[in-house]
Amino acid sequence: MLFALLVGAAPVCAQDAPFGFESFADSTILTNQYAGTAFSNAIVLSAGITLNQLEFPPHAGSNVAGDNGGPITITFVSPPRSFSGYFTYNVTLTMQALDASNNVLTSVTSQFSHNQAISGAAGSQPNELVTVSSAAGISKIVIAGSAQGSSFTVDDASAITLCDLYQDGYTNVTDVQSILNQALGAAAPNNDLNGDGVVNVVDVQIVINAALGMACIAQ
């Protein structure tokens, strides 16, 4: 009954924010074009224009984002639980996940020192999938290659929100049912999204809002 009252007859499904960069013109400086997300030191590069697609091929489409003048920083209004993207780089790549106080939660490093399509290291391939995760939620991502920039591209990045309980890239009715079961005591209360010490109707509503395409305002 509670599920029916909160959800009603509306279809419930929302994809976690994908960053494919295809809708932007070449050389667009990325800032706050994606709702709830702020980029710095990021520029859109288009195949056949400013992107050397022979060495840095897009993962899909014709656009990627590149580091412009320094490490790319991505700040989230609603902290996701993980962030991933497909990276091509000419120096070793490091990706850090930070909390709201800029403490490093976790960090990963690329598999190779460089992985361009033509001149990459032996055994490497372009568009390496790199992922960082933190159950506590990630407030900021810092992706560093060369301190001067122009050292890597990223394509088809995504942020898995805290509302995506199954971490399958979608917040939908299965996530709503999971949080509802937790609120009703039918499952372990593992997803206290607003940090008040209990899983209840507030957490259920947070997931429903995210499933309906609104932001996952979990904290």
Q: Can you give the CATH number for the domain in which 111 is found?
A: 2.60.120
Q: State yes or no: pLDDT of 199 exceeds 90.
A: yes
If asked whether residues 63 and 29 sit together in one domain, one would say yes
If asked whether residues 187 and 103 sit together in one domain, one would say no
CA atoms of 208 and 70, how far apart (whole Å): 38
What is the average per-residue pLDDT within 43-55? Answer: 97
If asked whether residues 155 and 168 sit together in one domain, one would say no
Residue 113, domain extent: 22-161
Q: State yes or no: pLDDT of 189 exceeds 80.
A: yes
| 217 located within any domain | no
| 216 located within any domain | no
CA atoms of 164 and 36, how far apart (whole Å): 16
| 219 located within any domain | no
Domain boundary residue among 161, 186, 203? 161
**pLDDT-based confidence at residue 2 (cuts at 50, 70, 90):** very low
Higher pLDDT, 178 or 11: 178
- State phi, psi for 134 to the nearest 5 degrees: -155, 125
If asked whether residues 125 and 64 sit together in one domain, one would say yes
If asked whether residues 121 and 34 sit together in one domain, one would say yes
The pairing of strands 128-133 and 170-172 is unpaired
Q: Structural domain tally of the chain?
A: 2
